[in-house]
Amino acid sequence: MAIYYLSTPISEDDIRALHVGDTVYLSGVIVTGRDAAHKYMVETFIRAAEVPEGERPLYEELKRLLKGSAIYHCGPVVRQREDGRWEFVAAGPTTSIREEPYQADVIAHFGLRGVIGKGGMGARTLRACQEYGAAYLHAVGGAATLIADTVKEVLAVYKKDEFGVPEAFWVIRVENLPLVVTMDSHGRSIHEEVRTVSEENLRRLL
């Protein structure tokens, strides 16, 4: 198990060097996105016959922001300063499995290198990590305030009025966000391995 310091945009080679159990300190620009954001990206952009004209500017911006970067499954607590700028008060990860119906498509379409959250994801996302060169990076649950300390700047927010604060796309610059690789581009998922061992132990007990 090794320690890596990575900055966005992340290369495919850097991601494929990671293995389950490695620690990553991530810096650079990333984007938050939860249920509403993923559903929106898939239905409006990825599976649509044509991107609606009014949504094209955000589509182009998300393509620019997400390519080689990471999406963070996070519903932050934020506050607005007197100068109008936003800052994160709490930034803990949300449960990632809810994004399983969408995540593989988002990885493929936008060129994501990292998916950040908690609890792991399923087989379809793992296959996308293998095929496109991405990794699932586990953030520590219960450390929302400490994670917020790594958010050095809120650069932009999109869809806040439509989706609400927790579900909006928050574009943030992080510095040494601590993460652990729990699904890598080589087909390993610690979440699946733990589930398999637990089921075997349960069968023996019964």
43-59 pLDDT, tens digit each: 999 999 999 999 999 99
Pairwise CA distance, residues 36 & 162, whole Å: 10
Phi, psi of 165, rounded to the nearest 5 degrees: -55, -50
Q: What is the pLDDT, as a whole number, of residue 54?
A: 94
pLDDT digits (tens, 9 = 90+) for 67-100: 999 999 999 999 999 998 999 999 999 999 999 9
Q: Could you tell me if 113 and 68 are in contact, meaning their C-beta atoms sit under 8 angstroms apart?
A: yes
Pairing of strands 169-183, 151-158: antiparallel
**DSSP label at residue 9:** S
- pLDDT given for residue 19 in this prediction: 97
Residues near 73 by Cβ (< 8 Å), separated by ≥ 6? Answer: 32, 33, 34, 93, 94, 95, 96, 99, 115, 116, 117, 118
| Domain-wise residue ranges, the chain | 3-205
What whole-number distance in Å separates Cα of residue 90 and Cα of residue 102? Answer: 25
Q: Cβ neighbours of residue 171 under 8 Å, at least 6 residues apart?
A: 29, 30, 31, 65, 154, 155, 156, 157, 158
Q: Which parts of 95-201 are beta strand (E)?
A: 114-117, 135-138, 151-158, 169-183
Q: Please report the pLDDT score of residue 1 as a whole number.
A: 82
Record the pTM.
0.92
Q: Which of 184, 171, 164 is CA-nearest to residue 113?
A: 184
Given a cut of 90, whether residue 153 has pLDDT beyond it is yes
The CATH number assigned to the domain with range 3-205 reads 3.20.130.10
pLDDT at residue 71, rounded to an integer: 98
Q: What is the pLDDT, as a whole number, of residue 206? A: 65
How far apart are alpha carbons 200 and 192 in whole angstroms?
12
Question: What is the Cα gyration radius of the chain?
Answer: 17
Average pLDDT on 99-105 reads 98
Q: Is residue 105 scored above 60 in pLDDT?
A: yes
Average pLDDT of the residues in 196-204? 55
pLDDT for position 190: 86
Question: Which pLDDT score is estimated for 191?
Answer: 72
Q: What value does the mean pLDDT of the chain take?
A: 93
Q: Which residues are catalytic?
A: 38
Give the pLDDT confidence score for residue 204 in this predicted structure.
Answer: 64
Helices (H), 28-142: 35-40, 56-66, 100-110, 123-132
SS3 label, residue 204 = helix
